[in-house]
Amino acid sequence: MSPDSFLHHIRQKAAQYLPYITDVRRHLHRFPELSFEEKETSAYLSKVLTEAKIPFTTGWAGHGIVAEIHGKGNTWIALRGDMDALPIQEQSDKPYCSARDGIMHACGHDVHTACLLGAALILNSLREDLLVNVRLLFQPGEEKLPGGASVMIHQGVLTNPAPAAILAQHVYPSLDAGKVGIRPGLYMASTDEIYIQIKGKGGHGAMPHECNDVILAASQAVVALQQVASRLAPPAVPTVLSVGKFQSDGGATNVLPERVFLEGTFRTMDETWRRQAHLLIEQVVADTCHAYRCTSETTIVSGYPCLANDATLTAQVRLAMHDYLGTENVVDLPLRMTGEDFAFYGQHIPACFYRLGTGNPAKGITSPVHTPTFDIDEAALETGMGLMAWLALATSVHRR
C-alpha cells in the first residue's frame, strides 16, 4: 500500500469511527477515576481491546494497559494516552457530565484515551499491510507523583524491544479543533513540590516581644523566596517559584502560633540549575527564619523532569502533520511552565509531545483545562485518532 493509500484509509477510518469513539469518550468522561485508581477505566478498555482482537497486557503501574499491533517490520513505535482524572467538581449540564462527585476529566485525559483507542482500531485494520509495530500505552497516574510514566518505565515498557520513538498528544483548548501545535526541543518545565515548616515560640498577640513570630518569619520567607527566580536564577533560564499554601497552627485573632506550614511549586527548564535551586531555596528559608529567631525545615520533592522534544523526531512529525492536516493547521507552540510525566519517556528514547486543538469559540467551548467547565469540540476526536495512527506510520518510514 502506498503512502497516499495509507493516508486515505486512515482518514476514512477516522471518520467512520468518530461516532463510536465519541461514545467512548463520553463514557470515560461520565465515569472518571483519580490517579492510580483507574480500575473501571482499565476494565472498560480491556473489554474493547478484547472484542477488537488486539493483544494486550494489564497491571502496568497498577491499572495501566499495554496493547500491541504487530506489523511486518522490525521497527517499533510507541503511542501513549493517559487515563486519570482530577479532584474537581464538574459544572456542566451535558448528558455526559461526570457522575462522580468531586471527580472530573478536567484535563482531557478521556480524550487522550479515546483517541489512542481509535488509533489502535485504525492501525489494527491495517495490520496486514503495516511495516511497523505499534505499542499503545494506556497509562495511569499522570496527575500524581511519581507519575505513571516513571513506574511503567521501571516495569520495562520501553524494552523487549525498545521502541524507536514515542509520541503523545494533549488537548489544547486555546487552539481550534482541527488544528495541532508542536515545538522542537525544550517545551515544558520540571515540576517540584516545596514543603516548609517554620517553628517559633507562640503566645499572646498583644505581647509579641515575648514570642518568636512565625507568621512574620513565614511572610518574609515567602517574599525572600522570590529572589530565587528574580535574582539567583540564570536570566536565560525560565524559572517560576510560587507559594500556594500558607497555614498556621492555632485559630484566634490574638494568638501567635508556634508553627506555620508553607507549600509551593518550583519549575524550571534546566536540570543543572534545578538542582542548585533546591539548595538555595532551603538556604533562603533558613536564613530568613533565623533573622526572626525561628527555625525551619524544608523538604523538596522532585517531580517530573523538563520535557524536551527530540529535534529530529519532531521535524519528522511536523512534516507528517502537514501531510495529514495541511500546513495551515499546524502551529508553533510557545514554552509552557506546566509539567508532564511524559518527560520521563524522553529521557530514554526519542520523544515528541504535541497539542491537539479542542476549542471552538463559536460553540462557547473555550474553558481551559483544570477548570470545572472544561469541555471539548468532539470533532477533535477525529483529528486526534487519525493523526496518531498516521504519525505511527509516517515517522517509522522516516526512521528506517
Active-site residues: which are they? 84, 142
Residue 318's alpha-carbon distances to 330, 357, 394, in angstroms, are 8, 15, 10
> Cell numbers 477505566 correspond to what residue?
41
392: three-class secondary structure by DSSP: helix
Residue 153's alpha-carbon distances to 113, 159, 343, 378, in angstroms, are 19, 9, 12, 31
Closest of 180, 187, 131 to residue 319, by C-alpha: 180
Q: How many whole angstroms separate alpha carbon 41 and alpha carbon 29?
A: 10
351: three-class secondary structure by DSSP: strand
**Cβ neighbours, 10 Å, residue 282:** 17
What angle in degrees, to the nearest 10, is found between the helix axes of 311-325 and 3-30?
90
162: three-class secondary structure by DSSP: coil
219: three-class secondary structure by DSSP: helix
> Cell numbers 539567583 correspond to what residue?
232
Q: How many whole angstroms separate alpha carbon 321 and alpha carbon 310?
A: 16
Residue 391 is placed in which grid cell? Answer: 504519525
Q: How many whole angstroms separate alpha carbon 66 and alpha carbon 58?
A: 7
Contact in structure between 159 and 51 (CB atoms under 8 Å): no
